[in-house]
Amino acid sequence: MESGRETPRLKVKENWFRGVVIALVLVWTFQLISVIYRRRNRLKLPPGPPRWPVLGNLLSLGKMAHHDMANLSRKYGELMYLKLGVVNSVVVSSPEMAKEFYKVQDSVFSGRPRGFQSKVMFYDSQDLILSVGDHWRFIRKVAAVELFSPKRIKEFTDARREEIMITALQMLEKGKAGETVKADGVLLALSFNNITRLLFGKTYYGPKATGEPADSAEFQRLIMANNAAGFLVIGDFLPFLKFLDLGGTKAKMRMNAQAFDAFLSKRLNEHRMKGPSEQSGIAIVDALLQIQREDTALTDNTIKGLLLDMILAGAETVSDVKQWALTELMRHPEILQKVAVELDDVVGRDRLVEEADLVQLTYLQAVVKETFRLHPVLPFLVPHESLADTKVAGYDIPKGTRVFFNTYGMGRDPKIWEDPLTFNPDRFVNSPINVKGQCYELTPFGSGRRICVGLNYAMILIDFTLAQLLHMCELSLPHGMKPSDVDVEESFGEQITVPKLHPLEIMAKPRLPLNVYSEAGVIF
């Protein structure tokens, strides 16, 4: 009876307590919002489009976000403010403004955003691309000395040549059989095999992979699964929705992360079991394990994060650039003819291209630069983040602001480029503009201290592949197809890169005397 009489009192007390808690939370939330609002009103932020409550400008960006950002920047200027959920963001859309971020205040804007993907896929930002501070400086030094030094790049000259020969042979065999070649497939296989041969001394992509069949099948499955997973996690922008997994992106990332970790751990164990005396010292993983024996700061997770950077960030970007270049050459036969004439003048028709020839292939280099300008495969690069409150051009940039470099918009800006929508490599002939990071109108690899450490290696892969394939193969469109029929539609949304939506299909036949191929070991 006593307990029965006390129950209503307990419920009243419980409801009163809940009411007090809710009231306190509402008061605290109101005070917090007021503080943020007052602080934001005191800040002089860059101009930008109107924002929705809570969502900010998220609804302003659709599936083709790089198009939307370019259009908004034309309206709001070279430095634009966006509120992406709770994330302060600025969009940089002029070479002059890019210089301010890349050079003048490089140290302030050298941070990287951290989100679900960096935590789950990249070992809580233990990799090179997403790490910051002392850890980043340590990993960058390792990468610069052991992965992409001139000596290391030279060591893999023969390997690069062999992989390109395999690709050329596949294309010529298809041509001989009267079949078309889908450029995205052969170029992607070439990129992945170049990367994994550099990392592990084996290839894992395509029918001619040299790794164990089960490992090759798993690697190819992982690449396809990662491409299908997407990269946008809404909880990174709207923290109160972290409990949601829209589209299953987080679950897919977790599964991919576990599978990649198992694949990479197996590679580390294989090379570790060899022992130092059995390792060739050429494969990158062997060099990293040697460093680890001398410096335990290089943990297994850091090594795996670095390897994953190269696999996921290095292969597809390089492949996409090459496909866009070939697409534009197929659309412009007169430009393709100029490339052919230069190859014949520099290399001749009695031998194949060597990497030493690349420095003299200035028109081909102009084609690649023009491809970077008109078809940037990383339209925002990898976003930076401000490490402290600062001012730029008289505007306040709060700490933690995300910085997007609008390379897509700058590449198509008539204030920077004459006739910007026309593919015209001649604009780079005898031009001082390069892609090394000091010419802020063209920074496909970024600039400043966060510039891509693999820039030189990527450029060799792009230039050498295009030069060799265009010298060995006479490329043409399928029968009945005109240059004007080749589309330049883009795909964007699932990943941060912009590949061609519809794969380029081409025909290939020998361009050189047949004895040149046989002497090079290419028999078809």
**Span 216-271, pLDDT tens digits:** 999 999 998 887 767 788 899 999 998 888 788 899 999 999 999 999 999 999 99
- Name 185's Cβ contacts closer than 8 Å, sequence gap at least 6: 503
Domains assigned to the chain:
43-519 (1.10.630.10)
92-131: pLDDT as tens digits: 999 999 999 999 999 999 999 999 999 999 999 999 999 9
156-178: pLDDT as tens digits: 999 999 999 999 999 999 999 99
Q: What angle do CA 275, 280, 281 make, to 5 degrees?
A: 90
Q: Can you tell me which residue has the tokens 């501070």?
A: 133
**Predicted confidence (pLDDT) at residue 13 exceeds the cutoff of 70:** no
Top pLDDT among 345 and 497 is at 345
**Predicted confidence (pLDDT) at residue 2 exceeds the cutoff of 50:** no
Lowest mean pLDDT among 313-317, 363-367, 371-375: 313-317
267-316: pLDDT as tens digits: 999 999 986 545 455 799 999 999 999 988 999 999 999 999 999 988 99
Residues making up the binding site? 452
When pLDDT is cut at 50, 70 and 90, the band that residue 33 belongs to is low
Distance CA 175, CA 87 (A): 51
Residue closest to 508 by CA, chosen among 32, 167, 242: 167
**Burial status of residue 355 (CB atoms within 10 A of its CB: 0-12, 13-18, 19 or more):** middle
Side-chain-facing half-sphere of 155: CA atoms under 13 Å: 17
Top pLDDT among 132 and 8 is at 132
Q: Is the pTM of this model over 0.85?
A: yes
When pLDDT is cut at 50, 70 and 90, the band that residue 17 belongs to is low
Residues making up the binding site for heme? 452
pLDDT for 478? 96
